[in-house]
Chain A
Amino acid sequence: MARRQNAGGTFVVVLVPYLWLAALFLVPCLIILKISLSQTAIAQPPYTPVYDFAVGWAGFKEFISGLSFQNYSALAQDTIYLSSYLKSLQVAAVSTAILLVIGYPLAYGISRATGRWQALLVLLVILPFWTSFLIRVYAWITILQTDGLFNRALQALGIISAPVAWLASDTAVYIGIVYSYLPFMVLPLYASLQHVDDSLLEAAADLGCRRWKAFWKITVPLSLPGAIAGALLCFIPVVGEFVIPDLLGSSSSMMIGQTLWTEFFSNKDWPIAGAIAIVLLIVLVGPIAGFEFIRARDLKGR
């Protein structure tokens, strides 16, 4: 009885975020989808057709017939788009791999630290969030420039003899991405590693496992959901990353975010930019669905 009475309240509570999502996510998505099916025009807004609510049913039919998939076929025909997508996927894949390699030991170390240290180390991981993301990426420009901190440090250590041009290279993009996304990898990993009970490792040792084997057989599988969550939290936004490659990368091979920006702002081609965004969304739905599936399974498991 009490449950049924609650159902109405629950419905309202659930409705609010869904309305929010509908207004700020679904509706803009549909607008972009509509724009991607339009043609460019020298007009305000810079595309046709534009639906006029006053024209009625006949006008609507005309409006629909004005839409086409020609922007999508344009995407397929020009290799610049395909190479941008591939470049983005490659950068995202490589940086996710680097983030895992750096983030796992970091998260493991934090999870094995004693209580007070653990809190402090977690704080240090999230500390960069207290400064604007944009400012932190700009800071990397000064660090990586020819007479910057990075070159001087490497020279002082005798690793390089002459300054290296780090900026406007893939290396700089990777440095920027790994730096910016590390907390997103470390935090979910830490959360899952923290829940690995010491007694499980003792049980593994008791049953014949040396330390590294217990780590491999117990810790690694139990931290896998955290690793997958971290990987997706990094991979998905990195694919669409614009600021980091724009500020630190070269303009010779653009990531899809940069291509989209160019189409939208420089070429004023909103429809093709819309099509790029829609295709990107579809490409990324796969990993997001995978993430949700794993999360749902995890929740059920607990």
Chain B
Amino acid sequence: MRASFAPWADPGAKPLLRLEGVSKRFADTAAVDNLSLDIFEREFFALLGPSGSGKTTLLRLLAGFERPDSGKILLDGEDIAGVPPYRRPVNMMFQNYALFPHLNVASNIAFGLRQERMPRREIRQRVAELLALVKLEGLERRRPHQLSGGQRQRVALARSLAKRPKVLLLDEPLAALDRKLREQTQFELAKLQEQLGTTFVIVTHDQQEAMTMAHRMAVMDNGRLIQVAPPSEVYEQPASRWVADFIGDVNLLEGEVKTTQSGVATVAGKNGEEFRLAVSADIWPGMHVWAALRPEKIQVGPQPPAGAADNKFRGVVEDIAYRGNVIVYRVKLALGDELMASVANASRLMELPISRGDEVWLSWPAAAGVLLSH
């Protein structure tokens, strides 16, 4: 998660990039469907969605490789929807890096600058700066095939930054790296973005990646934006069941709102259980809702929790998944619902305190989950 930076919350702020009702169809499927979105200067914006959700098409529309069927793409207030890619102050880092195999590292990075006919001396200087930025000094004469995957990724990044674009588009930039390197690079990329102040728009299918790096993320499905918000908001206040389920793990409990009192709704579950959860403005009695409850927000214990709890249920452990850092319990409640509860593995006991078939108590405060109307 990133430091406080929230121009989207300021109604007077002017977006750097504005999409107005942008649509793009391929044959008879709408890859991008009447989509509107504002992206601000210095923002690190992530497009997240399952494959086929239209996130890559949206990125290609921004790059100019696709033209929208309708709608406007405004960059600094100017419609660039019809401007070809070679005239846009926008650059892209490709998923497979698309490094030119016949050119060495320095020539790859300098490629865009040479098209601009920048003087040789300045090119050399800029290339040296970029090589230092991505820590590839000394490799300028290497060809792409002589580099490791991580090094290639850095060359691609340097090349896409060389022309100092107003917006840098990144298409799954870390997908080809192994996990350790990817996690390390996530932090580096976020730091680099802050340092350069360039607006980054990244496409990824990896929610960890989006949450680690982005100021805001857009969750896409079927060519539409389902939710656009900072990562913590998407996680804690998902806009719908679909988002709650797509981002992280979640328990969804179906029910009907009985009463709402002092900010807490009492919900009657399908199996007759009653639970209490914090209520938001668009929830009222009689409504059909789903309670979205993250597994890590449920307490698990062999005894009923001491004192009053908003929700406490008895159940039997059906399954235990030991994941190292957390232990996930699948608990079947007496009334028939099944819940996942995860507990941080804080102690280092070989014997787990709870085993399969044990009776346990699950409890959570009203503020632990959200009620979703759709």
Among A204, A210, A221, A301, the residue within 8 A (CB) of B111 is: A204
A206 at the interface (CB under 8 A from B): yes
Which stretch of B86-94, B193-201, B241-249, B313-321 is in the interface? B86-94
Q: List, in ascending order, chain A residues with CB within 8 A of B101's CB.
A: 222, 301
- CB A224 to nearest CB in B, in angstroms, measures 8
Q: List, in ascending order, chain A residues with CB within 8 A of B87's CB.
A: 208
Nearest to B156 among chain A residues (CB) is: A203
Q: List, in ascending order, chain A residues with CB within 8 A of B99's CB.
A: 203
Nearest to B63 among chain A residues (CB) is: A206
Which stretch of A132-140, A194-202, A235-243 is in the interface? A194-202
B96 at the interface (CB under 8 A from A): yes
Interface string of A222-239 (1 = CB under 8 A from B): 100000000000000000
Given contacts A207-B163, A208-B115, A222-B102, A202 and B86 within 8 Å (CB-CB): no
Asked whether, in the complex, the Cβ of A205 is within 8 Å of the Cβ of B145, the reply is no
Q: List, in ascending order, chain A residues with CB within 8 A of B159's CB.
A: 203, 207
Asked whether, in the complex, the Cβ of B85 is within 8 Å of the Cβ of A218, the reply is no
A302 at the interface (CB under 8 A from B): yes
A209 at the interface (CB under 8 A from B): yes
Asked whether, in the complex, the Cβ of B100 is within 8 Å of the Cβ of A206, the reply is no
Asked whether, in the complex, the Cβ of A203 is within 8 Å of the Cβ of B94, the reply is yes
Q: List, in ascending order, chain A residues with CB within 8 A of B86's CB.
A: 205-210
CA gap between A209 and B99 in the complex, in Å: 15
Asked whether, in the complex, the Cβ of A302 is within 8 Å of the Cβ of B145, the reply is yes
CA gap between A205 and B64 in the complex, in Å: 9
Nearest to B90 among chain A residues (CB) is: A206
Nearest to A202 among chain B residues (CB) is: B65
CA gap between A208 and B88 in the complex, in Å: 8
Q: List, in ascending order, chain B residues with CB within 8 A of A207's CB.
A: 86, 91, 111-112, 115, 159, 162-163
B182 at the interface (CB under 8 A from A): no
B37 at the interface (CB under 8 A from A): no
Q: Give the residue among B87, B102, B145, B160 with the most A Cβ atoms within 10 A.
A: B102
B272 at the interface (CB under 8 A from A): no
Q: List, in ascending order, chain A residues with CB within 8 A of B192's CB.
A: none
Interface residues on B, range: 20 to 34
Q: List which A15-33 residues lie within 8 A (CB) of chain B.
A: none
CA gap between A211 and B111 in the complex, in Å: 15
B52 at the interface (CB under 8 A from A): no
Q: List, in ascending order, chain B residues with CB within 8 A of A217's CB.
A: 111
CA gap between A204 and B159 in the complex, in Å: 11
Q: List, in ascending order, chain B residues with CB within 8 A of A222's CB.
A: 101-102
- CB B114 to nearest CB in A, in angstroms, measures 9
Interface string of B77-114 (1 = CB under 8 A from A): 00000001111000110101011111000000001100
CA gap between A235 and B115 in the complex, in Å: 36
Asked whether, in the complex, the Cβ of B91 is within 8 Å of the Cβ of A197, the reply is no
Among A200, A208, A213, the residue within 8 A (CB) of B100 is: A200
Asked whether, in the complex, the Cβ of A206 is within 8 Å of the Cβ of B145, the reply is no
Among B63, B96, B112, the residue within 8 A (CB) of A208 is: B112
Asked whether, in the complex, the Cβ of A206 is within 8 Å of the Cβ of B85, the reply is yes
- CB A190 to nearest CB in B, in angstroms, measures 18
CA gap between A217 and B116 in the complex, in Å: 14
CA gap between A218 and B100 in the complex, in Å: 7
CA gap between A208 and B162 in the complex, in Å: 12
Asked whether, in the complex, the Cβ of B65 is within 8 Å of the Cβ of A301, the reply is no
B164 at the interface (CB under 8 A from A): no
Nearest to A196 among chain B residues (CB) is: B101
B126 at the interface (CB under 8 A from A): no
CA gap between A12 and B64 in the complex, in Å: 57
- CB A226 to nearest CB in B, in angstroms, measures 13
Q: List, in ascending order, chain A residues with CB within 8 A of B102's CB.
A: 221-222
Nearest to A200 among chain B residues (CB) is: B98
Q: List, in ascending order, chain A residues with CB within 8 A of B115's CB.
A: 207-209, 213
Q: List, in ascending order, chain B residues with CB within 8 A of A209's CB.
A: 86, 115
Asked whether, in the complex, the Cβ of A202 is within 8 Å of the Cβ of B98, the reply is yes
Q: List, in ascending order, chain A residues with CB within 8 A of B2's CB.
A: none
Asked whether, in the complex, the Cβ of B143 is within 8 Å of the Cβ of A199, the reply is no
CA gap between A197 and B95 in the complex, in Å: 13
Nearest to A225 among chain B residues (CB) is: B102
Asked whether, in the complex, the Cβ of A202 is within 8 Å of the Cβ of B94, the reply is yes
CA gap between A207 and B93 in the complex, in Å: 11
Asked whether, in the complex, the Cβ of A203 is within 8 Å of the Cβ of B100, the reply is yes
Q: List, in ascending order, chain B residues with CB within 8 A of A205's CB.
A: 64-65, 84-86
Interface string of A277-302 (1 = CB under 8 A from B): 00000000000000000000000011
Nearest to A301 among chain B residues (CB) is: B145
Q: List, in ascending order, chain B residues with CB within 8 A of A210's CB.
A: 84, 86
Residue pairs across A and B with Cβ atoms less than 8 A apart, 10 shown, are A199-B96, A203-B159, A205-B84, A205-B86, A206-B64, A207-B115, A208-B87, A209-B86, A210-B86, A301-B101
Give 19 A-B pairs besides A206-B92, A217-B111, A222-B101 with Cβ atoms closer than 8 angstroms. A199-B94, A202-B63, A202-B65, A202-B98, A203-B94, A205-B64, A206-B85, A206-B86, A206-B91, A207-B86, A207-B115, A209-B86, A209-B115, A210-B86, A218-B100, A222-B102, A301-B101, A301-B145, A302-B145
Q: Which residues of B contact A (CB under 8 A)?
A: 63-65, 84-87, 91-92, 94, 96, 98-102, 111-112, 115-116, 143, 145, 159-160, 162-163
